Structure 1
Amino acid sequence: MVAGWFAGDGDDFRLLGTRCSSCTSVFFPREDSHCRNPGCPGGDLEEVPLSRHGRIWSYTDSRYRPPSPYVTDPELPWEPYALIAVELESERLVVLGQAVPGVTVADLTVGMEVEIVPGVLHEDTETVWTTWNWRPTGVTA
């Protein structure tokens, strides 16, 4: 889990971003030092929970094992996954993430509504690394 990127679980799971008090720009990943908007004189940055829902802006699949720092078990066969770019409902910000396991590019369409849910990036006998996944609304996983 990347500290400060998300909070909660289940229906309370949210990505965390930051909003500039001066220009109201929203950032994800979060920004803690300065406003990234080049036209902004600068303002205080406050943590804000981001929308749980959005619409698919684009998508593709990953058919190869990515290099480090992505963690995979080399003893297990590679399992392709769908990668989705989602425009968040309120922020109009595009956030990338994996689809929930079992959802493939054949199940997706541009404009489809999705929601954010907690996911597992990797786990071993001692640790579970949490991430986020996108799930088409109405699909249970």
Structure 2
Amino acid sequence: MRAIAEGLFTDETPPRLIGGRNRETGRIVFPCPEGHDYEPHPLRREGTLWSFTIQRYRPKSPPYAGPEAFTPWAIAYVELAGETIVEARLANVALDEIRIGMPLELTQIVLDPAAAEPVLTHAFQPIGAAA
């Protein structure tokens, strides 16, 4: 199965996200911008929940190409200490158990299991949660 975008994950096991470090300032961002100003930088796998919201309704289609049987999901900002804040889905946690400051770790999820060619994207889950 392929990742949703080239250069999103490292090849190591378990994978890490690839951010970008500004060559001049050292500032780290995600995802890694194209161009000569940034160099690839593997990000931490663990972070803390900085903020979140719940997507409770099915987005309009197009552009949404997900299943008709919509299930709400959590969108989060995860702070990777000393690096950056990453936007990602939350996985393997009940919506009513999500708390600001909870420790999280990177995981990969299938974006749309019903797709003809499913792709992996990044998500975060509580540390130690079953993937």
Tell whether the 8 Å contact from 1:82 to 1:103 is kept in structure 2 after alignment: no
SS of aligned partner of 1:29 = coil
> Between the two proteins, what is the percent identity of the paired residues?
32
Q: Give the drift of 1:118.
A: 0.8
In structure 1, runs of 5+ residues without a counterpart are 35-43
After TM superposition, what 4+ stretches of structure 1 lie above 6 angstroms from structure 2? none
Give the aligned length. 127
In structure 2, runs of 5+ residues without a counterpart are none
1:46 aligns with 2:49: no
Aligned residue type for 2:44: S
Tell whether the 8 Å contact from 2:32 to 2:38 is kept in structure 1 after alignment: no
TM-score scaled by length of structure 1: 0.79
Q: Give 2:16's match in structure 1, choosing from 10, 14, 17.
A: 14
TM-score scaled by length of structure 2: 0.85
Counterpart residue number, 1:96: 87
Q: Give the drift of 1:125.
A: 6.4
SS of aligned partner of 1:24 = coil
Counterpart residue number, 1:32: 34
Q: Give 1:4's match in structure 2, choosing from 2, 7, 22.
A: 7
CA–CA distance in structure 2, aligned partners of residues 108 and 123 of structure 1: 24
Aligned residue type for 1:112: M
CA–CA distance in structure 1, aligned partners of residues 100 and 75 of structure 2: 13
Tell whether the 8 Å contact from 1:59 to 1:105 is kept in structure 2 after alignment: no
- The alignment's C-alpha RMSD in Å is 1.9
Q: Give the drift of 1:28.
A: 0.8
